[in-house]
Chains A and B, each alone.
Chain A
């Protein structure tokens, strides 16, 4: 399981941790770009299907709203870190 944080910067969804920062206009774009990044990364590639747990940074939501609901959403994207290697092979 790869863990990262997720936020929306006004135009793009951004997933990031200490090792990567990947963005996409829609969540589908984000997942696609993340998969591509992981396939290209020497740190992550070749580990088969991986779950990426994205915890939403609720600081993205204005502070005054937190008193009503302090949680937006977390999600898990399943990405294939092998795909490119398989295709290349």
Chain B
């Protein structure tokens, strides 16, 4: 029997699945970063762009110990380190390693090129610092300019250079990259908690509560829209309801399995979801920035509930973070700390992701025993584990380790931060950028026009913008009202 893609044991897929490889990749560099407590910085080589008007000052290594590398040197070292790590991952995932290597190289180069160019002070500087660059006018987009540009470049490739997109597809893995970035984010949340432990705790708790409320409102509402307004078949409605209302592709596939749908149904729904997720990613951050400046955490958490796929949600959270923080500075001269709005979007999403296994298990029980009355079938409980998002384990581990160091071993706090910063800042944002480019590359808007989607396109449109997004904002307001990010130090 060929068991390459079979999940039978609890450890199945540990060496072969993207989800697990986001844990391994994240933990490798997290561990290297942690070694700074020994007094040696193993991760400060990561190349990170700065705002610039003189391109020779546009990029450099983050660690003091690696300043001698210079800009180009740090990019080369970053490329070598991550190429080795990702190609090993690609090998174990049984990807075409040669094709992955070539695609990765191109995506990496595009990513850094866009990242540097979009850090030109005209795009990135705001009212408080544009004078430092000799500018009277700037767009005040901060790092948001990089994210928007990366997505645009990816979308241009994905929609107008389809041969190139196909060539790059082996390495365009937005979920792998964003899950790795979320493991790195755990480092940041860990030591952010030192500053504002109450805030992190409240965010986690209210995020969980909001998630449960969202599940109980979104899913039945969307299911009813699909069934009653559009008369879609029962299984397709269930798969579509999960995809639109819970966590996108992962939920639609999990639900497809739970209701024993033929695989073509979640596959079709998934193709639709990835396109709509990008539409949300483009529309919602500027709309929320324009309308919810008084409630930044409500806005972030609402994204977590409304934007489907982890990649699009985290990416939308990162754009919102940049846009809102820069607007706040321009408006009031107040500088919120970077990362909290992104974290509110990601934390809500992670709760949603964690519940999907349990939700699909319960759905399978109801479907098999109550709806289809299959008395000769049993639903194994191991299904919950097989559908559990493993990257969450990496996220929680990095979070807890740094939290532990900061509270239990404060004497190594300063040394630990030297290794943490390149990971949570440089590597996290690099993997966000890789996610943006990759999402664009794999998104083909023409798919929306394909007739076979039929009514699903309209179910999605109406359910998302008339039902999910407004309700997400209301739930977000109810649980996160009044929370604002701590001020930057």
A70 touches B3 (CB 8 A): no
Contacts of A76 in B (CB 8 A): 377-380
A17 touches B309 (CB 8 A): no
**CA–CA, A64 to B17, complex, Å?**
12
Choose from A18, A28, A55, A61 the contact partner of B263 (Cβ within 8 Å): A61
CB distance from A79 to the nearest CB of B (A): 7
Q: Counting chain B CB atoms within 10 Å of each CB, which of A3, A5, A51, A73 scores highest? A: A73
Choose from A28, A55, A69 the contact partner of B253 (Cβ within 8 Å): A69
Q: Is residue B162 within 8 Å, beta carbon to beta carbon, of the partner chain?
A: no
Given contacts A55-B7, A57-B2, A68-B309, contact A73 B376 (CB under 8 A): no
| Chain B 2-15 interface mask (CB, 8 Å, partner A; 1/0) | 11111110000100
A60 touches B386 (CB 8 A): no
Of B71-79, B185-193, B254-262, B473-481, the stretch lying at the interface with chain A is B254-262
**CA–CA, A48 to B256, complex, Å?**
32
CB distance from B388 to the nearest CB of A (A): 9
A68 touches B377 (CB 8 A): no
Q: How many chain B residues touch the partner (CB < 8 A)? A: 46
B376 touches A79 (CB 8 A): yes
Q: Is residue B249 within 8 Å, beta carbon to beta carbon, of the partner chain?
A: yes
**CA–CA, A69 to B249, complex, Å?**
7
Choose from A4, A56, A58, A65 the contact partner of B267 (Cβ within 8 Å): A65
Q: Is residue B210 within 8 Å, beta carbon to beta carbon, of the partner chain?
A: no
Contacts of A28 in B (CB 8 A): 374
Contacts of B17 in A (CB 8 A): 66, 70
Contacts of A56 in B (CB 8 A): 6-7, 257
CB distance from B254 to the nearest CB of A (A): 6
A27 touches B253 (CB 8 A): no
A67 touches B386 (CB 8 A): no
Given contacts A67-B176, A69-B250, A71-B257, contact A51 B378 (CB under 8 A): yes
CB distance from B94 to the nearest CB of A (A): 9
**Range for the number of chain A residues in contact with chain B:** 35 or more
Q: Is residue A36 within 8 Å, beta carbon to beta carbon, of the partner chain?
A: no
**CA–CA, A70 to B173, complex, Å?**
14
Q: Is residue A78 within 8 Å, beta carbon to beta carbon, of the partner chain?
A: yes
Chain A contacts with B in 12-70, Cβ cutoff 8 A = 16-18, 27-28, 31, 51, 53, 55-62, 64-70
B249 touches A75 (CB 8 A): no
Given contacts A59-B5, A68-B270, A70-B7, contact A77 B253 (CB under 8 A): no
Q: Counting chain B CB atoms within 10 Å of each CB, which of A62, A65, A77 scores highest? A: A65
**A interface SS class:** mixed
CB distance from B266 to the nearest CB of A (A): 8
Q: Is residue A84 within 8 Å, beta carbon to beta carbon, of the partner chain?
A: no
**CA–CA, A61 to B4, complex, Å?**
13
Q: Is residue B424 within 8 Å, beta carbon to beta carbon, of the partner chain?
A: no
CB distance from A39 to the nearest CB of B (A): 14
A71 touches B380 (CB 8 A): no
Q: Is residue B451 within 8 Å, beta carbon to beta carbon, of the partner chain?
A: no
**CA–CA, A57 to B5, complex, Å?**
6
A31 touches B376 (CB 8 A): yes
B267 touches A71 (CB 8 A): no
B7 touches A74 (CB 8 A): yes
Q: Is residue B280 within 8 Å, beta carbon to beta carbon, of the partner chain?
A: no
B253 touches A5 (CB 8 A): no
A60 touches B309 (CB 8 A): no
Can you name the residue of chain B whose Cβ is closest to the Cβ of A11?
B262
Contacts of A74 in B (CB 8 A): 7-8, 380, 382-383, 386
Given contacts A65-B249, A68-B253, contact A58 B376 (CB under 8 A): no
A70 touches B6 (CB 8 A): no
Can you name the residue of chain B whose Cβ is closest to the Cβ of A61?
B263
Contacts of B169 in A (CB 8 A): 64
**CA–CA, A65 to B253, complex, Å?**
9
Choose from B5, B380, B383 the contact partner of A58 (Cβ within 8 Å): B5
**CA–CA, A17 to B3, complex, Å?**
11
Given contacts A58-B5, A66-B17, 15 further A-B contacts (CB under 8 A): A8-B262, A16-B1, A27-B260, A31-B377, A55-B7, A61-B253, A61-B263, A61-B267, A66-B5, A68-B309, A71-B387, A72-B253, A73-B383, A74-B382, A76-B378
12 sampled A-B residue pairs with Cβ under 8 A: A5-B3, A55-B8, A56-B257, A57-B2, A60-B263, A61-B253, A64-B169, A65-B270, A70-B17, A71-B383, A74-B382, A76-B379
The 10 closest A-B pairs by CB, nearest first: A73-B257, A68-B249, A67-B175, A69-B253, A69-B250, A58-B5, A76-B378, A59-B5, A71-B386, A72-B257
